[in-house]
Every structure is written in C-alpha cells, then in structure tokens.
Amino acid sequence: MQDEYDVAIVGGRCAGASLAIRLARAGLRVCVLDRARFPSDVPSTHGIQPAGATILRELGCFDTLAARTDPIVRGTVVVDDARIEFDRGDELLGAPMLNVRRGVLDAVLLDAARAAGAEVRTRTVVTGLRHERGRVAGVVTPDGPVPARLVVGADGAGSTVARLVGAGEYCRTPAERVFLWGYFEDTDHPPGHVWLGRIGDHGYLASPTDGGAFLAVVAASRRRRAEVLSDRPGAFAEGLRSWPELEAVVAGGRRTGPLHTVPDRDGFFRRSAGPGWVLVGDAGHVKDPTPGQGIADALRQTTALAPAVVAGLADGDDDADLDAGLRRWWTWRDRDAWAMYWFARDLGAAGPVPLLTREVMRRVAADPRRCRTLLRVLNHDVPPGDLLTAPLALGALGGALLHRPGERRRLLREARAAVVDEVRHLRPPRAA
C-alpha cells in the first residue's frame, strides 16, 4: 500500500522547503521531492532582502544562517552620479539583509522541513502526475507513484509540474542582462556592507557572503552576451573598472573558483492554480533578478499560500473550497508581484541609465525620506509608486529640461514612454 500524503511538493529549495515547514507544522502529511542532491548550489546569486530574513526568523532558520555569514545592515547605492549611503538598515526594515549561498540556505530550510515532520526525498525526479476524477492527485517518480490530494510545483522556472498541467504564461518580458559573478577570499571589505549599482552600461551587486567570502556580481547588457561568454575574466574586469571603489575591494582579494553565469532567464507569469495543483516561487512567476527579491518573494508567497492550503484541506473531501482558496491565492500573488515586476524590468533594462531616471535618482539621493522609501521599495514593503510619485517625476523632468536644453527631445521621449508604460501596466490581468 502506497503512503498517501495531503501534499506532494515538487522542489525543495526556498519555495518548496519553506512551504513544507509551514504545512508540516500545521499537522499535514507532506512529501517533498527534489531531483537534486543537497547541499547543492543553483545558478543564482543570493542576497536575501530583510523581508525574507524576517520570514526566515519566523521559520526558526535565521540564527543558523546569521551564524554562517555577516548580516548586512549598511550599504552604498549608486546610479551614475547619484549616491546613497545607508546605515542601520535593519532598524528601518526590521531585519538585516542576509547573503548566504544556496547550498547553505536551501539545506537549512530542508532540515527544518524534516524536523517539522515532512518526508524529504532528494535525488528523486518527478516525471509525471497522477490523476483521479479529473484532478491532479499526486506525482509519478521512477520509484513509483506518490498519491497526494494536492501537488505543489515549487520546481523553479523550468517547472515540470507547470508543463504537465499545461499552465499557460502571460506577460513575458525578455532578459536584458548577462549576470557574471565570482567569489573572493581575503578581501578587505567593511563588515555588513552591500554595494548596489548601475553605472554606464553595467549593473552591480556585491557583499560579504558565507564562509568569509566576498561575492561580486557584474551585469552587462544582453547584446554583449557572446563577448562576455567568450572572455568572462575580461568582461568582469572591464565592468569593475567602471566602479573603481568596488574594483579596489575585489582587487585586494583572490578569486576562488570560476566566474559564474546563467542562460537568459526571461520574466513571466504562469497560470498558477487548478484542480489539485498550484505553482509557487519561480515555477509560477519570474522577474528580472536585479532587485534581488526572488528568494524573499518565494518565502513571502509560501507564507500566504500555507494558510490557504491548510484551510482548503481541512474540509474532508470537499475540493471546491481548496480550489477556490488556491485561485484566491493566485490572484493575490499577481497583485502582490505586479508593480514590482515592471520595476524590476526597468532596473534591469539594458543600456545606460535613462536621463530622466538619473535625474530622479539625484533627487532621491538628496532627500533622506526618499532614500528610506527606496530601501522599503527594494524590500517589497511598499509599492514602487510610493517612491516614483508624480511630483518627483514632474520635478525631475522640469529640472532636466532646464539644465539639459540640448537633450529636450530625448527627455520628452523618455517621459512619454514612462507614462505609456505606467498606463499599460496599471493592474494585472484577471487571474482565474
């Protein structure tokens, strides 16, 4: 007789493991299946926003992770000549940022899922779905079927569950940057400091990470992809030259291991709930990685999904409640992610910083209240519209037109494009 679970979760990293912790603690019978061996890395950088650190604290994993790395409480944000320094970010945002490699983070989460009572099957690939009465009713693996009342696809951007249920995509946006990153030893970096930047044609993220290492990321425009891939060290060094202060930190250390990159990862939303299934984390929605919110958002999504699953499964055999709860969660996910999706796309856009954005960022940098709002936007506490208000945009446009009379046409073009974009993306399409 096969074990029957309440929930089978495909994928055991930040989305799958965090959901498993919550569901198992609520008393559900949970099976997590992941084809990977743990601990192991994923091709991704790993700055966890304070909002994510707060959830890790709720899950009881924060202290273990904070003991492995230097929590980040101060930083430098640079957008061309606009510069913002912040300190005690943990006081403003309720927690420090954490930067731990996924080999560490995901293993800690999976251990907590096991301790909560979930069964964890690593090195187990899900190849198919079970169906009963027109509903998904478990998964199929090479070792046999795993029956479950609900299947959660937490299996990343290339989700097998999404493919098997035929979950359609909407609002796809192309990746515009190539991320290149490396780890350095013996750098003389200030403790607990993060660098975020966009200078010329490059984006940057750098901070201490676990094991005393220093992570530095350079993101070049996608049109230079072939050039970047043919000479990673050359492209990385060239990127760092545009930010001499960061270059100096890295130059004082020694790179360990290769420079990493990933294939293009487009942004998208997917239909994320149906009879007996739901998609969470990257399986259901991917945005440009520039604001570094994927992990914190996966944790945020599972925090909201867990009560819907517990309530839906509480009622014996009535699947209608479960399905309705999952659809409501999907609608919430789209609303929650919508403005941030377009903000992330703009942050990660290829090419040099638009003139209007430069002027906006100068004004933000000059105003401590706006600086705090920027940090809260990056933490997904408040929507980007709280920072990019009409008075700020109009003031920036007026100032730029006055000081750059030779650039009037370009500025007006940028302003017009921003307004059209704003109107087009006022609200998400209706989910269910």
Ligand X SMILES: Cc1cc2nc3c(=O)[nH]c(=O)nc-3n(C[C@H](O)[C@H](O)[C@H](O)COP(=O)(O)OP(=O)(O)OC[C@H]3O[C@@H](n4cnc5c(N)ncnc54)[C@H](O)[C@@H]3O)c2cc1C
Contacts with ligand X in 336-395 (CB under 6 A)? none
CB of residue 111 vs ligand X: minimum separation in angstroms?
A: 15
Q: What is the total residue count of the chain?
A: 432
Q: How far apart are CB 167 and ligand X at their closest, in Å? A: 14
Query: Cα separations (Å) of 132 from 32, 47, 203?
Result: 21, 41, 49
The reply to whether 281 sits near ligand X by the rule CB under 6 A is yes
Mask of contacts with ligand X, 34-73, x by CB under 6 A? xxx-----x-xxxxx-------------------------
DSSP string across 321-335: HHHHHHHHHHHHHHH
> In the set 7, 14, 129, 164, which binds ligand X (CB under 6 A)?
14
| Site string (136-165) toward ligand X, x via CB under 6 A | ------------------xxx---x-----
Using CB under 6 A, count the residues that bind ligand X. 35
Residue 96 binds to ligand X (criterion: CB under 6 A): no
- Written as one letter, the residue type at 33 is L
> Hey, which residues between 203 and 262 contact ligand X (CB under 6 A)?
262
Tokens of 311: 């309530």
From 11-19, 62-70, 193-201, 363-371, span contacting ligand X (CB under 6 A): 11-19
CB of 410 to ligand X, least distance (A): 30
Helix H or strand E encompassing 412: helix 408-424
- Closer residue to ligand X, CB minimum distance, 227 or 421: 227
Supply 79's token pair. Answer: 């957008």
Closest to ligand X by CB, 219 vs 353, is 219
125 counts as binding ligand X under rule CB under 6 A: yes
String of contacts with ligand X for each residue 300-339, x by CB under 6 A: ----------------------------------------
Nearer to ligand X by C-beta: 10 or 356? 10
Neighbour count for residue 288 (Cβ, 10 Å): 27
- 8 Å CB contact between 138 and 146: yes
Selection from 76, 66, 124, 73 nearest residue 100 by Cα: 66
E-only strand ranges, 328-430: none
Question: Which residue of 54, 173, 209, 293 would you call a contact of ligand X, by CB under 6 A?
Answer: 293
Structure tokens at 383: 């929507």
DSSP annotation of 365 reads: H
Q: In whole angstroms, what is the distance from residue 166 CA to residue 250 CA? A: 45
How many angstroms separate the CA atoms of 302 and 408, rounded?
47
Nearer CB in complex with ligand X: 149/265: 265
d(CA 150, CA 136): 7
CA–CA separation, 262 and 258 (whole Å): 13
Which residues here bind ligand X, judged by CB under 6 A? 10-11, 13-16, 33-36, 42, 44-48, 125-126, 154-156, 160, 179, 262, 265, 281-283, 289, 292-296, 298
